[in-house]
């Protein structure tokens, strides 16, 4: 197994391992539990959902980070790339439909709400960050964010994320993110948009 110090850029071959890790990391996430309320179905389908997001939303832009052994993953989108292209959406939909089964409509509404409130100013977007549950609080998440936060600071570009767990806000705050409000998903849980100015 790897450590928090051997963060590297992910490649396509990393997608299965990262997706399983992200699925375990987000199994207790309020938004994912709302997307897939049945525990057994969520544990079965969440890796497919994570793989589709990684493959079509972030990996093409070259800033997905992981460790040896896939202890965690950070899915980043550079400025101007946070919106999935029409071609990307077409490629994403079959995998999403398989993963979400009868939950596609509320999930699409949730994504539309998130997109509507997304900042327009150029920024790096942290789409997803997760570590293996038994490896949390060991610095892996911080290490996975570090390469892009260094770019943000060096180039003077802000960063943005939506925290789906209120208890994660202090972690992101330690890295310079500040809550900008609350985002209630339609008939669903609340998320916390967070913005980070470059240091």
Asked whether residue 26 carries a pLDDT value surpassing 90, the answer given is yes
Give tens-digit pLDDT for 34-55.
888 889 988 998 898 899 889 8
Asked whether residue 3 carries a pLDDT value surpassing 50, the answer given is no
What average pLDDT does the segment 68-75 reach? 96
DSSP for residue 140? H
Task: Read off the pTM.
Answer: 0.87
The pairing of strands 183-184 and 190-196 is antiparallel
Q: Between 4 and 44, where is the model more confident? A: 44
Give tens-digit pLDDT for 155-196.
999 999 999 999 999 999 999 999 999 999 888 899 999 999
What average pLDDT does the segment 144-165 reach? 98
Which is it for the CA torsion 29, 122, 148, 70, positive or negative? Answer: positive
pLDDT at 88: 56
Is 182 in contact with 199 (CB distance < 8 Å)? no
| Cα–Cα distance for residue pair 109/103, rounded to 1 Å | 10
Domain ranges of the chain: 28-196
Tokens coding 124: 């790096």
Of the pLDDT bands very low, low, confident and very high (cuts 50, 70, 90), residue 139 is very high
pLDDT at 187: 83
| Cα–Cα distance for residue pair 90/11, rounded to 1 Å | 22
Which is it for the CA torsion 147, 153, 159, 161, positive or negative? Answer: positive
Residues 6+ apart with CB under 8 A from 52: 92, 95, 96, 99
| Cα–Cα distance for residue pair 64/51, rounded to 1 Å | 12
φ, ψ for residue 110, nearest 5 deg: -65, -45
> With respect to CATH, is domain 28-196 assigned 3.40.630.30?
yes
% of residues, the chain, pLDDT over 90: 66
Q: Between 98 and 112, where is the model more confident? A: 112
% of residues, the chain, pLDDT over 70: 87
């Amino acid at each position: 197994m790897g450590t928090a110090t051997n963060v590297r850029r992910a490649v396509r071959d990393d997608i299965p391992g990262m997706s399983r890790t992200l699925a375990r990391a987000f199994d207790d996430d309020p938004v994912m539990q709302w997307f897939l309320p049945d525990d057994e179905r969520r544990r079965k389908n969440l890796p497919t959902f994570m793989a589709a997001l990684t493959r079509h939303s972030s990996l093409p832009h070259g800033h997905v980070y992981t460790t040896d052994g896939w202890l965690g993953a950070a899915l980043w989108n550079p400025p101007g790339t946070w919106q999935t292209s029409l071609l990307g959406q077409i490629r994403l939909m079959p995998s999403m439909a398989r993963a979400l089964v009868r939950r596609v409509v509320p999930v699409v509404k949730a994504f539309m709400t998130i997109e509507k409130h997304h900042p327009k100013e150029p920024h790096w977007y942290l789409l997803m960050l997760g570590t293996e549950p038994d490896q949390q609080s060991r610095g892996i998440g911080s290490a996975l964010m570090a390469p892009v936060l260094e770019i943000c600071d060096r180039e003077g570009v802000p960063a943005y994320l939506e925290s789906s767990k209120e208890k994660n806000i202090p972690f992101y705050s330690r890295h310079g993110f500040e809550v900008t409000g609350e985002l209630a998903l339609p008939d669903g849980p609340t998320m916390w948009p967070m913005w980070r100015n470059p240091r």
